[in-house]
């Protein structure tokens, strides 16, 4: 509502009708977003490089085949992380001692281990080990007459879970812990009067969460969720250590094959920059629209 008139809501009403004072040159210099100019220069430079220098053009042509993997890995992993994060975030504030402590343990474990190490560990240790558990469980189910579940479960072997899938699992588990903290903070930012009002009307805890607390909490944390999505786009580069052919891995392959390190990593950096800048812009627009719709 406020930005439709363009008037700062904090200004006293008297000034709203008066003509705004024209800005001085100094103010214009101070307030101008010069950094956008810097981005613009980089974009022009990049465009110049790939169109005039054959080596940069070739590098781009090669590396861009990884964009699809980078985007799909991020999208899948983030979607799963949202679910894990919401469940763990609710668990963190649960009154159930077991649930609360398990959730806290998960969050603290993940936050205390570097993402790179987690990716190695989950993909190369945790996933193969859980396959062993599946096998045993499948065999047990089959021997107990539940072959229709047991046999497919036991049939899952190390090759049936690709490294791409493992990379997604690893990123989801990692970001699930970060998002859990965002959800928890969002829920706790809602005054306890809201829960009391909902409960006093006869709603259960779950109903109050679903219809009253979460809609408000999620709205409050949308900017933070957006920021973590952008962060995940960048962190998805870590899955290249699993030989997943995202843009980082493809750029490494290209550099290794051609020894054109400058070309490969310049293009790689620019591709990430392009993706994150566009996403940041989208997050900002969403944020602003959210404020515009604010009915408070």
CA dihedral 261, 263, 269, 272 (to 10 degrees): -120
Q: How far is CA 115 from CA 111, 123, 172, 186, in A?
A: 9, 12, 11, 24
Longest dimension (CA), the chain: 84
Residue with Cβ nearer other proteins (133 or 197) = 197
- Is residue 194 near other proteins by the rule CB under 8 A? yes
CB contact at 8 A, 74 and 232: yes
Looking at the chain, how many residues does it have? 296
Q: Which tokens hold the place of 275?
A: 């993706």
Helix axes 261-293, 67-92, angle to 10 degrees: 50
- Is residue 94 near other proteins by the rule CB under 8 A? no
Residue with Cβ nearer other proteins (19 or 296) = 296
Residue with Cβ nearer other proteins (30 or 196) = 196
- Is residue 296 near other proteins by the rule CB under 8 A? yes
- Is residue 211 near other proteins by the rule CB under 8 A? yes
Other beta carbons less than 10 A from residue 136's beta carbon: 12
Q: How far is CA 174 from CA 161, 232, 236, in A?
A: 19, 10, 11
Residue with Cβ nearer other proteins (173 or 198) = 198
Exactly one of 151, 196, 256, 285 binds other proteins (CB under 8 A); that residue is: 196
Distance, in Å, from the CA atom of 158 to the CA atom of 122, rounded to the nearest integer, reads: 13
- Is residue 237 near other proteins by the rule CB under 8 A? no
Exactly one of 155, 189, 204, 278 binds other proteins (CB under 8 A); that residue is: 204
Name the segment binding other proteins (CB under 8 A); options: 98-106, 130-138, 207-215, 235-243: 207-215
Residue with Cβ nearer other proteins (223 or 274) = 223
Rg (CA), the chain: 25
Exactly one of 125, 197, 269, 290 binds other proteins (CB under 8 A); that residue is: 197
- Is residue 215 near other proteins by the rule CB under 8 A? yes
Residues in region 29-58 near other proteins by CB under 8 A: none
Among 289, 296, 270, 282, smallest CA distance to 46 is for 270
Residue with Cβ nearer other proteins (21 or 295) = 295
- Is residue 287 near other proteins by the rule CB under 8 A? no
For tokens 């690709």, what's the residue? Answer: 162
Question: Which H or E element spans position 200?
Answer: helix 192-200
- Is residue 84 near other proteins by the rule CB under 8 A? no
Residue with Cβ nearer other proteins (109 or 201) = 201
Distance, in Å, from the CA atom of 34 to the CA atom of 42, rounded to the nearest integer, reads: 13
- Is residue 189 near other proteins by the rule CB under 8 A? no
- Is residue 292 near other proteins by the rule CB under 8 A? no
Residue with Cβ nearer other proteins (62 or 183) = 183
Name the segment binding other proteins (CB under 8 A); options: 151-159, 192-200, 256-264, 276-284: 192-200
Contacting positions for other proteins (CB under 8 A): 191, 193-194, 196-204, 207, 211-212, 215-216, 219, 295-296
């Amino acid at each position: 509502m406020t930005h439709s008139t363009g008037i700062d809501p904090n200004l006293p009403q008297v000034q709203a009708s008066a003509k705004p004072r024209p800005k001085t040159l100094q103010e214009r210099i101070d307030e101008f977003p010069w950094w956008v100019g810097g981005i613009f220069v980089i974009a022009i430079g990049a465009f110049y490089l790939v169109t005039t220098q054959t080596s940069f053009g070739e590098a781009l042509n090669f590396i861009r085949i990884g964009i699809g993997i980078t985007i799909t890995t991020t999208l899948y992993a983030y979607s799963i992380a949202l679910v894990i994060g919401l469940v763990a975030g609710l668990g963190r504030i649960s009154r159930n001692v077991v649930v609360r402590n398990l959730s806290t343990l998960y969050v603290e474990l993940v936050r205390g281990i570097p993402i790179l190490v987690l990716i190695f560990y989950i993909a190369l240790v945790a996933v193969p080990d859980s396959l062993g558990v599946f096998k045993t469980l499948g065999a047990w189910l089959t021997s107990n007459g539940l072959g229709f579940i047991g046999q497919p479960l036991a049939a899952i072997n190390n090759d049936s879970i690709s490294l791409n899938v493992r990379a997604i699992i690893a990123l989801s588990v990692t970001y699930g812990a970060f998002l859990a903290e965002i959800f928890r903070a969002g829920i706790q930012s809602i005054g306890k009067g809201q829960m009391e009002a909902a409960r006093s009307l006869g709603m259960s805890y779950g109903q109050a969460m679903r219809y009253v607390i979460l809609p408000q909490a999620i709205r409050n944390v949308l900017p933070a969720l957006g920021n973590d999505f952008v962060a995940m786009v960048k962190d998805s580069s870590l899955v290249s250590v699993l030989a997943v052919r995202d843009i980082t891995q493809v750029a490494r392959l290209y550099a290794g094959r051609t020894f054109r390190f400058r070309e490969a990593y310049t293009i790689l950096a620019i591709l990430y920059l392009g993706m994150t800048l566009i996403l940041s812009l989208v997050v900002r627009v969403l944020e602003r629209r959210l404020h515009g719709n604010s009915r408070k």
